[in-house]
Amino acid sequence: MHVTSPVRPPLVTGAKTYADVTEDICRHVEAKPTKEWWVAFIISVVVLIYGTACVFWTWWEGLGVWGLNKTVGWAWDITNFVWWVGIGHAGTLISAILLLFRQKWRTSINRAAEAMTIFAVLCAASFILMHMGRPWMAYWALPLPNAFGSLWVNFNSPLVWDVFAISTYFSVSLVFWYIGLIPDLATIRDRARNKVSRFIYGSLAMGWNGSAKTWARYEYISLILAGLATPLVLSVHTIVSMDFATSVIPGWHTTIFPPYFVAGAIFSGFAMVQNLMLITRVVYKLEDYITLEHIESMNKVITLTGSIVGVAYLTEFFIAWYSGVEYESYAFINRATGPYWWAYATMMTCNVVSPQLFWSRAIRRSVTWTFFISVIVNIGMWFERFVIIVTSLHRDYLPSSWAMFSPTMFDIGDYIFSFGFFFTLFLLFSKFLPVVNMAEVKAVLRSSSETLPKKVAGVAKGERMTSPTYNKDVQ
Amino acid sequence: MASVHAIPSVEEEFIFTSGAKTKLLIGGGIGLAMVLIGAFLLANGSGHEAAEAAHGAAAGAAEHGEEAAHAGNWMTRIWANIWVNAVYFTGISVIGMFFISYNYLAEAGWSAVFKRIPEAMPAFLPVTFVIMLVTFFLGGHDLFHWTHEELFDPGNKLYDPIIAGKQSFLNTPFFLIRMVIYFASWYLLWRILRNLSLEEDRIGGTTNYYKSIRYGTAFLVVFAITSSTSAWDFVMSIDTHWFSTMFGWYTLASWHVSGLAVITLTVVTLREMGYLRAVNNSHLRDLGKFVFAFSIFWTYVWFAQFLLIYYANLPEEAIYYRSRFSGYGGIYQAPFFINLFLNFFFPFLVLMTRDSKMTHSILKVACWSVLIGHYFDFYTNIMPGSVGANGGFGPVEFGFILIFVCAFIWSVSSQLTKANLIPRNHPMLEESLHHDIA
């Protein structure tokens, strides 16, 4: 027997029955796309087309179209890559780590967050491909037996570790997301009104029959995948941080990087989840499932991880002075007061100061503030990577090679590409797949509803009552 | 698994028996005797060891030639031993507070039933505070290279520009102020939380629960900063030249998993004594998971710090591992590997399976492994920079461990007698009593 303490706030409001949950979530998958959806989708596709043209030109013409120079050899490309990978972390944190910690509030947001993870990782990967210049040779990053003589991957390089870390992470996230989708796909299959969608959702549901045995397996595999995904999510940004920290560049080589990058990744990922969920919540009228409690909990995670990042910034700054290493001290003073002081100031304000506003209960329960601060946080996290990469590089050991970086329209266009790509995929997801995990929300309905209806199973409503799509007696 | 009828009473009084007290006194007495015998042996054989020290010191191990001879003093080893244990037990004690604080902040339910155990741990803080203060006053020069005035005097031949650059942080008054702030803030916040918890036992209601969340959060904010700075002060500054941004979180990870091991071990021991019948297999498994997960986390932090320093191979950083691995005639190599074995490989393999985490004997073995392992963790971090080639493992080390363990058990036991063993009015208690993760 499970007991829920009366001090716990409810997670589902509006006295929902199981039938209501199915109805509220499936409605959007089954209905025709709304006008708002079309508007958003068309904008995303237009952005994607523009971005694709820029990426095409980058590949056609070569990386010379970017603003890189011989001193600043990494700038927007790697900034964007790290930024997107970081954003991806929140999905895994919600689906895996919060599952291990048995946090019931994850059930309403895990589906969309995991989808976001997958799309964000794809965006990140696109920058790796762009940065390769010759993407058709991308498989050279894998240790494949070949006839090219001595060509072999350099296992000493953290960039190679990245290839393994991110591809493993992507695969596990995808499997995790898909397994979680199966019971819901079966629900949609069973409700489908035409043969095409019954066939498509039916094939995707892989013959799920909802028996006790399949549910037991579902829970088993979820735990196993959560166990696998938890170390993976730490390892991915750890290895991303090692792309910098294994070097001897002042401002990059600092031992705190691995956990600090992981915290920063979760920080920006949660901010992105907030942005996506707040919009989805309003457009799809999911206020009963994504309540202020959910928003508040996520804001608490944002404050926690933002503060961890803040402590790391202060630690870096302090140790740079404490070490007595001239180059290290200079790198940090140059960050704060050099020509890129504005980037540093943006980073500090957005990442360290702004999440502290969430100490106010009124602000962390305000939808407007949450949306605003989440945008700010992601701006800050982009600048963090920009500051780390560009300010450390632009002051070389040789003052004669000191340089500045200025982005070209292709730096910007390729970044825009990733937005088009991300939002196109997310909008397709939100139209064709259930944005909330119905099965898992139903699992917490009894323990976490504000008020339980008289009969929690509920009955189908309206048209579905008079003409049911699925007749058990026939089969 | 546990039906309503199967839940035992929540009314439990812990009795600190005179038999247990006698055992602890005898244990402490044996420890003291070992320290005295060990000190006597060291004092008589020290001349011989000091000569070896001068040879054994690796490049950069002793920062100044003159210091090497000075380090031969057997008292240094006594001070260093006290310091290792005091830092270690300070950490374990404060982790009790850390654990309840983050459980309050996270609105955790499962841990309510054994909450009195972490709650009893920080009572030991004043003891370690006094010990550390006295040790710093009497043995500070032996432990902390930066306490020597001549390093900061440009005219002196011992002048060290790097250490002089750290003077505004590493100076005795500021160090003492910081130390007072750490212990005062940790202890006072614990007192507040403890009183709220005891009041909740008496009057019930949720007022104290909500207040506890606030004070718990306040502690976490304080600890976010002080855990790192105290690690720099108590441990990192011993190797005065060396620095690592990870070090604060590294020490926190070390303290944290040790504290979790102590909580688990105490819960298991109390159950074996017939107490805490309301703690079921699900609680044990979750405690086991915590020890398992955070021993991996410690390893992660250890490895990240090690790998980055090894890979970049900058002399001012790499010397830290060099001196531990092959410096001083290699005497720290064994603790270096014991550290990794006991803190990672052993608990990782032993706690891997589901059933092992609810088996008393396996939990005990794993927790002892972690606790002994983290003693060696602090040993390898503190000893090379303080006693250098005169380090070792003999009666003095065993004796001090015994004294501190007995004192800590005494402190926790006497705290446990002061309140009902199960917080009877905790709003999450009902959830915790029915905790079932089968």
For B184-229, the pLDDT digits (tens) are 999 999 999 999 999 999 998 899 999 999 999 999 999 999 999 9
pLDDT band at A467 (very low <50, low <70, confident <90, very high): low
A41 three-state secondary structure = helix
Contact A7 B311 (CB under 8 A): no
Query: What pLDDT was estimated at residue B46?
Result: 52
Contacts of A256 in chain B (CB under 8 A): 244-246, 249
For B112-123, the pLDDT digits (tens) are 999 999 999 999
Q: What secondary structure, in 3-state letters, does B313-341 show?
A: CCHHHHHHHHHHHCCHHHCCHHHHHHHHH
Q: Are B194 and B119 in contact (CB under 8 A)?
A: yes
For B15-28, the pLDDT digits (tens) are 999 999 999 999 99
Query: What pLDDT was estimated at residue A150?
Result: 78
pLDDT greater than 90 at residue A421: yes
Mean pLDDT of B299-303: 96
Domains in chain B: boundaries: 2-433
Measure in Å the smallest separation between the Cα of B427 and chain A Cα atoms: 7
Rounded Cα–Cα distance for residues B213 and B220 (Å): 10
For A7-21, the pLDDT digits (tens) are 899 999 988 889 889
In the block, which residue shows the tokens 């393994």? Answer: A164
Query: What pLDDT was estimated at residue B263?
Result: 97
Q: Are A407 and A413 in contact (CB under 8 A)?
A: no
pLDDT band at A469 (very low <50, low <70, confident <90, very high): low
Query: Which segment, A58-72, A277-291, A453-467, B184-198, is predicted with the most confidence on average?
Result: B184-198
Cut 0.90: pTM above it: yes
For A335-382, the pLDDT digits (tens) are 999 999 999 999 999 999 999 999 999 999 999 999 999 999 999 999
Query: What pLDDT was estimated at residue B72?
Result: 56
Q: Touching check for A228 and chain B: CB below 8 Å?
A: no
Q: Got the DSSP string for A92-106?
A: HIIIIIHHHTT-GGG
pLDDT greater than 60 at residue B69: no
Q: Touching check for A345 and chain B: CB below 8 Å?
A: no
Rounded Cα–Cα distance for residues A27 and A20 (Å): 10
Q: Touching check for A155 and chain B: CB below 8 Å?
A: no
Query: What pLDDT was estimated at residue A6?
Result: 87
Tell which residue, B268, B260, B261, B262, has the closest CA to residue B359: B268
Mean pLDDT of B69-85: 82
pLDDT greater than 90 at residue B73: no
Among A187-196, A349-358, B261-270, B341-350, the minimum mean pLDDT is found in A187-196
User: B36 Cβ partners below 8 Å, 6+ apart?
Assistant: B399
Q: Touching check for A257 and chain B: CB below 8 Å?
A: yes
Domains in chain A: boundaries: 18-142+156-396+437-463
For B375-384, the pLDDT digits (tens) are 999 999 999 9
Q: What is the mean pLDDT of chain B?
A: 91
Contacts of A246 in chain B (CB under 8 A): 307-308, 311-312
Rounded Cα–Cα distance for residues A340 and A275 (Å): 28
pLDDT greater than 60 at residue B55: no
Q: C-alpha angle with apex A397: A394 to A398, nearest 5 degrees?
A: 90
pLDDT greater than 50 at residue B1: no
pLDDT band at B420 (very low <50, low <70, confident <90, very high): very high
Query: What pLDDT was estimated at residue A144?
Result: 87
Which of A248, A259, A308 is opposite residue B301, by nearest beta carbon? A259
Task: Return the residue of A nearest to B301 by Cα.
Answer: A259
As beta bridge partners, residue A12 has: A449
B66 compared with B420, residue with greater pLDDT: B420
The phi and psi torsions of A12 (rounded to 5 degrees) equal: -130, 130
Mean pLDDT of B101-108: 95
H helices then E strands: how many in chain A?
Answer: 18, 0
Mutate one of A159, A242, A256 to test the B interface: name it (highest B CB count within 10 A): A256
Q: Are B332 and B325 in contact (CB under 8 A)?
A: yes
Q: Are A67 and A411 in contact (CB under 8 A)?
A: yes
Query: What pLDDT was estimated at residue A466?
Result: 66
As beta bridge partners, residue A449 has: A12
Query: What pLDDT was estimated at residue B57?
Result: 44
Given the candidates 3.30.70.3000, 3.40.47.10, 3.20.20.220, 1.20.1630.10, the CATH classification of the domain at A18-142+156-396+437-463 is: 1.20.1630.10
Query: What pLDDT was estimated at residue B63?
Result: 45
Mean pLDDT of B253-270: 97
The phi and psi torsions of A449 (rounded to 5 degrees) equal: -80, 150
